[in-house]
Structure formats: structure tokens, C-alpha cells
């Protein structure tokens, strides 16, 4: 039986490759005007993690969660894990925490990206 770490590594390699191929196929077909390829991958990954989390639990297959959820879907899009975590808070009735997590993650991630871009541009200038 494969260890959880090996499951994550294998699933991540496959998921990241699938993301790369999917986004590039979209770009070849429609161009780069709007990052819809990435958006589609994120939405699809969120949809798939919703299916997988319930399916694995109901079929008592949680031992392959590292392969499919953390590995494949985490490699395909980390947005799927974010969506699941926000929904879990919501489902638990923790509306304030769910809202803070959902909005905070997006806002802070964008701010962090801007900070990284600015810092790197300053260092490399």
C-alpha cells in the first residue's frame, strides 16, 4: 500500500499536469485576454472536491483521500481545498468565520501577490 506522502506526490504530479494542459488548451483555443482557463480549472476543482469528499466518505474510501483530494485536486487547483474549507465552516454554522475565511483569503492572497511583485521588482531593479 502506498504511503500518504507518496499518494500526495503522485496525485499532485497528475493534478498539476492536468491543470497545465487544461489552461494551455484554453489559451490555444481562446487566447489570453481573460484568465478563464484558470477560473474554469478552479471552479471545476471545487466542484470535483465536493463530489470526492462525499463519495469517499460514503464508500469508506477515505484512505485514498491523500491521492485524490490533497494530491490530484490540490495539484489541479488549491482553490478546491479553499472552497471545501469555507463550506465546512458554513455547514458548521460558523457564518462569521466562513465569511472571514472566504473574503480574507482572497483579499490577503491578492495583497500578498502585490507585495511579492513589488518586492521582487525592487530587488531586481
Please count the structural domains in the chain: 2
CB burial of 43-68 (b: ≥16 within 10 Å; e: otherwise) equals ebbbebbeebbeebeeeeeeebbbbb
Q: Is the pLDDT of residue 3 over 90?
A: yes
Looking at residue 80, what is its pLDDT?
Answer: 84
Note whether 12 and 66 are same-domain residues: yes
Q: Is the pLDDT of residue 2 over 90?
A: yes
Note whether 48 and 104 are same-domain residues: no
103 belongs to a structural domain: yes
Q: Is 15 within any annotated ligand binding site? A: no
- Geometric angle at alpha carbon 81, from 80 and 86, rounded to 5°: 100
Note whether 13 and 74 are same-domain residues: yes
Cα radius of gyration rounded to whole Å, the chain: 17
Looking at residue 79, what is its pLDDT?
Answer: 87
Q: Is 88 within any annotated ligand binding site? A: no
16 belongs to a structural domain: yes
83 belongs to a structural domain: no
Could you tell me the pLDDT band of residue 1, with boundaries at 50, 70 and 90?
confident
Cβ pair 38, 23 in contact under 8 A: yes
Note whether 22 and 60 are same-domain residues: yes
**Domain region containing 64:** 4-78
Looking at residue 96, what is its pLDDT?
Answer: 95
Note whether 72 and 18 are same-domain residues: yes
CB burial of 9-35 (b: ≥16 within 10 Å; e: otherwise) equals bbbbebbbebbeebbeebeeeeeeeee
Note whether 22 and 57 are same-domain residues: yes
Q: Is the pLDDT of residue 35 over 90?
A: no
Amino acid at each position: 500500500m502506498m504511503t500518504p506522502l507518496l499518494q500526495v506526490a503522485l496525485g499532485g504530479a497528475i493534478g498539476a499536469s492536468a491543470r497545465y494542459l487544461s489552461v494551455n488548451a484554453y489559451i490555444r483555443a481562446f487566447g489570453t485576454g481573460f484568465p478563464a482557463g484558470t477560473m474554469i480549472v478552479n471552479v471545476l476543482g471545487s466542484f470535483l472536491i465536493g463530489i470526492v469528499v462525499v463519495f469517499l466518505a460514503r464508500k469508506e474510501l477515505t484512505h485514498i483521500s491523500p491521492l485524490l483530494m490533497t494530491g490530484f485536486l490540490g495539484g489541479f487547483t488549491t482553490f478546491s481545498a479553499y472552497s471545501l474549507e469555507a463550506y465546512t465552516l458554513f455547514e458548521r454554522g460558523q457564518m462569521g468565520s466562513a465569511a472571514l475565511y472566504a473574503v480574507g483569503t482572497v483579499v490577503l492572497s491578492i495583497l500578498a501577490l502585490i507585495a511579492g511583485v513589488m518586492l521582487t521588482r525592487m530587488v531586481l531593479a
